Structure 1
Amino acid sequence: MTALLAGSAVRTCLGDGAGTFAALLRGECGARPLPLADAAALNVSAAYHMPDGEPATPFRAARLLAGCVAEAARRAGLDPARQRVAVVAGTGLGELPAVEDRALNGTAVAADDLHFGGAVRAALPGVAEVTTLSGACSAGGHALALAQDLVELGEADAAVAAAADTMTRSMLAMIGKVAPVPARRVRPFDRDRGGVLLGEGAAAFVVVPEGWRGPVSARLAGTGLSCDARHETAPDPHGIRRSMRDAFERSGREPADVGVVVAHGTGTALNDPAECLALHEEVAGPGGGPLVTAVKGAVGHTSGAAALINLDVGVRVLAHGAAPPVVGLRRVLEEGEGLRFVRGEPARCAPGLVQLNAFGFGGVNAVTLLEAV
């Protein structure tokens, strides 16, 4: 079975969905100096933060997510007073900035404030159900899969898959601790990659059933999931491959149908080789297979929002017939040789199927397949 995508809304360091895609096509990098007084102590000098607020601000993720949910619902013409509308919200770090802030002041955060239910209900009155899940960098993909299930099983007339994450000082400190030299940008699939830089992002997509009366942007063929739990942080190529196979089996599509892959592309020593291996073994054909792009070089590591930001890029690839270049990619790593990375400038394309990868800590993986309506 399949579902359709109606209204959507996206926010990254490069702007809304249209602005972000335009910047991707131009090969722009959204990294800028980190505006925190303790940046030097954190050993992090740059980040992909939004220009309209201070990073690590408490409850900022909920505000960004709620704004995207309200905008996506408006664009889709949802009316929760007449329709059963469910919201599934994914995140990696949630409201950790609030916990950090209160901890410094010796106070606690109410449990109800740690999920997005209140913010979503205020932005979309009458919504039937709000579920917050945490799934690291694939949280948005898991939210999307659950939203599709709710619609296909008739449990909701429409479901909103949403996700958001902002920066936290503890995560900034972690990447500063493991980096001998502070990174200045993310360089996916590059031999000279320098590691992780955090980004901020939020997104929401309205998932509706076939036959929806209203504008739609693409068909959601299906999402494959896996959770291998092999290691706390290191990716497992076999688990990644399982999520890819699951996507093809659920959707009834074939790897040969894929014209473009929007890769996870973290620019790290373990993920990039593992993802390349999985793409070689599951998707790439004798001619090198589909075009491969990735967005973290432009927008950073947006954690739980990453899968839905990739989804928005995939929708726009289908609409514009162009795949953006991998920002920051100059010398392809050895494991990626033979893959058709988009480099330097956009690649014209007419993909029958777009594959969207999202892989999280602990082997929590989501692979979505998308096609034109």
Structure 2
Amino acid sequence: MSNAGRRRVAVTGVGLVNPFGGMDAQDFFARLMRGESAVRLHQHPASPAPLAQPAGVCTGFDAEAVLGRPLAAVTDRYAQLGVAAGFAAWDDAGMPRQGEERDEYGVSWGTGIGGTMSMEKGYNDFFVHGKDRAHPLSVVLVMNNAAASHLAINLGLGSACLTYSVACASSAIAIGEAMRRIQSGESQMVIAGGSEAPLSFSIMRAWEAMRVVAQGNEETAFMACRPFQEGRSGLVLGEGAAALVLEDWAHAQARGARIYCELAGYGQSCDHTHLVKPDAYGQTRAMNLALREAGLAAEEIGYLNAHGTATREGDPSEIEALRQVFGVHAEQLLVSASKSMHGHLLGATGALEALITVLALARGEVPPTAHLDHVAEDCRGVRHVMGEGLCNVPLRAAVSNSFAFGGSNAVLAFKAVS
């Protein structure tokens, strides 16, 4: 289908559960603007051996209070976070929870590891505590499509309910594929996003074994993740969820919805070079595809939310890709990596960073990369936002990058409402 025949896609709702401990998207963004960090030293209470890592933990989230006891009892933490964020986005879009035909409304969700908390508990029950019977809901607790399914069931959404698991690009791809469904007319509205709860002992230990996790103590954990910084030492894990309500533009206008911005472009590529080492050329292809579909020139992009994990190889690869795509404009392009403040949410990170990009456009504000005070030589060539965020920025368009193990790249391009 040509661009001329595609329906425009509006972003009409945002919702999240974030490591600052709340569900207020505007408060979350304000904290990012101040350069605050939600990262703290964390040890999972069920750890069979001592292990403490800096991490972003949703400490204030009470699943029973938000979802009710019956739903909380049949969901893993990753699904609880996801359903809560999806409900919040739906409410923010001005949509009632029930009471109308919804066969053209659906869900598009992303998660990298799904119900890992419940899976680890099951293993511990058998192999540590010697129990001889599994939890009767074990299968539905751990399945990756649980969050999406519970959203569809509780909101009565009858269009496609799909889950994508593509490592750290999962929820960005979920948002991009939801865009495709609306463009083609398959769906009128889609709750698109992702959730992750990776702070189990086994997952934390596995990431530590890869030697890509930044270390810290009680005093330094908050600034352990330092994307683009000279001497950066790696990523920190985080948990949480984020959702956007995507809607056919004409449908949104007809019901008088508030429109945050337009989701105008989506690009995908595969590095096809290495399982975990990023490739700048593959990233440039995804960015160029997103810009081309959005009908945007490189110089029209005012802000880019970088994947920026603070790993030694990942950061310079992304900066190299930005220089290739944006050319001379790269030196004026505002770039920040919000993982420095909320941690890396794995499969949910693309959705959270897309939400940040949406709010940056809607508010005309750009958050910083926290803890960045000396840009590494191999990360120069763009205009890094450092210290506190920038206000009153006349943004016309913005981009959010998500890159994943396995070589999958996903880029989302947004346009401001004119």
TM-score above 0.5, yes or no: yes
- Does the alignment pair 1:218 with 2:250? no
Distance (whole Å) between structure 2 residues aligned to residue 270 and residue 363 of structure 1 = 14
Aligned to 1:145: 176
Q: Deviations over 1:292-351 (max 9, x none)?
A: 111001000011111111112112212222211111212111122221000112223212
Which residue number corresponds to residue 289 of structure 1?
332
In the aligned structure 2, how far is the partner of 1:104 from the partner of 1:39?
10
Asked if residue 198 in structure 1 is aligned to residue 237 in structure 2, the reply is yes
Aligned to 2:381: 338
Structure 1 residues 284, 21: CA separation in 2 closer, same or farther (over 3 Å shift)? Answer: farther
CA distance in structure 1 between the aligned counterparts of 2:390 and 2:384, rounded to whole angstroms: 10
- Secondary structure at the aligned position of 1:314 is classed as helix
- Does 1:319 pair with 2:327? no
> In angstroms, what is the RMSD of aligned CA positions?
2.3
Q: Secondary structure at the match of 2:336?
A: strand
Equivalent residue in structure 2 for 1:99, among 98, 119, 123? 119
Q: In the alignment, which of 185, 195, 205 is matched to residue 164 of structure 1?
A: 195
Alignment correspondent of 2:205: 173
SS at 2:237's partner residue? coil
Q: Distance in 1 between matches of 2:47 and 2:120?
A: 16
Deviations 1:128-171 (A, max 9, x none): 33111101111111011111111111111111112000123222
Q: Does 1:130 align with 2:161?
A: yes
| Cα displacement (A) at 1:100 | 1.4
Structure 2, gaps ≥5 residues long: 1-5, 63-72, 127-133
Give percent identity, aligned residues only.
28
Q: Equivalent of 2:345, from 302, 315, 323?
A: 302
Asked if 1 retains the 8 angstrom alpha-carbon contact of 2:214 and 2:225, the reply is no
Q: Distance in 1 between matches of 2:306 and 2:119?
A: 32
**Partners of 1:230 and 1:42 in 2: CA distance:** 37
Distance 1:151 1:46, change over 3 A: same
Q: Give the TM-score taking structure 1 as reference length.
A: 0.93
1:42 is displaced (CA, Å) by 5.8
SS in 2 for 1:323: coil
Point out where structure 1 has 5 or more consecutive residues left out of the alignment: none
Q: Is the 8 A contact 2:54 2:214 kept in 1?
A: no
Match of residue 121, structure 1, among 152, 155, 168: 152
SS at match of 2:305: strand
Letter in 2 for 1:302: L
Displacement, 1:247?
0.5
**Aligned residue pairs: how many?**
371
Matches of 1:169 and 1:233, distance apart in 2: 22
Who wins on radius of gyration, i.e. which is larger? 2
Whether 1:270 and 2:313 are equivalent positions in the alignment is yes
Instruction: Report the CA distance between 1:122 and its aligned residue.
Output: 3.9
1:74 is the counterpart of 2:118:
no
